[in-house]
Amino acid sequence: MTSTTDTDLASAVAENVDRALAEDVGSGDLTAGLIDPATQAVATIICREAAVICGQPWVAEVLRRVAPSARAQWFVPEGGRCEPNQKIVQISGSARELLTAERTCLNFLQTLSAVATKTAQFVAQVQGTNAAIVDLRKTLPGLRVAQKYAVRCGGGKNHRMGLFDAVLIKENHIAAAGGLRQAVEAARRVADRASFIQVEVETLAQLQAALDIGVNMLLLDNMPLERIREAVRITAGRASLEASGGVSLESVRALAETGVDRISVGTLTKDVKAIDFSMRFSDKPVE
């Protein structure tokens, strides 16, 4: 499995904030411009529902760009849980600058906390089994690093970051290469550039064929539970097994109990229902 380095994350945060501020602030905030630049304010961001908080590096970068003199005090750590209507962070600084930063900060928090929260729900469902919850490439364009970071905040693990860092051989790759053996042999020639080589199988016959040529990572695609259990028995630890396909909170526990090593869940990052945050101004710090 791949992971993002600190350098990759810092670069992604900067790029994400660049685009977000360009589309929201543009040439300047006309409404915030009505406020006296000398006016100071204390802004408190409140989370309106139970959630796993994620997005602090993005909030910090927005403030660095828009409100460089602002001071932020976080009451919930990154990856920490909050209750409904809990105060998450208090920010002191220029009222004008905080008003300009408000929506961009909240947008990152609502999206990334949603991913972290959903991931944590899936992780809780498989607790006590050996199965890890893994993400996919089904991410919002331009926010892949951010969403995969949020998956980690929620207790999940990352699959490949993109097409460039690992090999996942699927049915169409096998057909285009002229067969499974040919596809795997070609993959092994670029193994030094790939963090892993994985083959997707849909039948037990395909599973056996992959095991026979020494494939050590297999993706069981849309298999029914009984077939997955049989795949685990046949494999007998010779390869790492990942289950995938239409996984829900209701079905994930049964999948985990088959004995697979990982369960990949596209809904972690593609079906994002934003967490509800709001920012409120006051004239004194939160006590």
Which of the residues 61, 97, 135, 200 is marked catalytic?
200
Which of the residues 170, 181, 229, 270 is marked catalytic?
170
Which of the residues 103, 227, 253, 270 is marked catalytic?
103
Does the active-site annotation cover 102?
Answer: no
Q: Cβ distance 218 to 198 under 8 Å?
A: yes
Which of the residues 221, 230, 257, 276 is marked catalytic?
221
- At 3, phi and psi to the nearest 5? -145, 155
Both tokens of residue 191? 């193994």
CB count within 10 Å of CB 227 equals 16
What gap in Å lies between CA 219 and CA 202, rounded to an integer?
8
Q: What's the one-letter identity of residue 151?
A: V
Containing 241, the helix (H) or strand (E) segment is strand 240-244
Which of the residues 138, 188, 253, 270 is marked catalytic?
138
Q: Cβ distance 215 to 199 under 8 Å?
A: yes
Q: Cβ distance 244 to 218 under 8 Å?
A: no
Does the active-site annotation cover 138?
Answer: yes
Cα-trace Rg, the chain? 23
* End-to-end Cα spacing for the chain: 43
Does the active-site annotation cover 103?
Answer: yes
Q: What is the DSSP letter of 249?
A: T
Both tokens of residue 127? 């607790």
**Total number of residues shown for the chain:** 287
Which residues are part of the catalytic machinery? 103, 138, 170, 200, 221
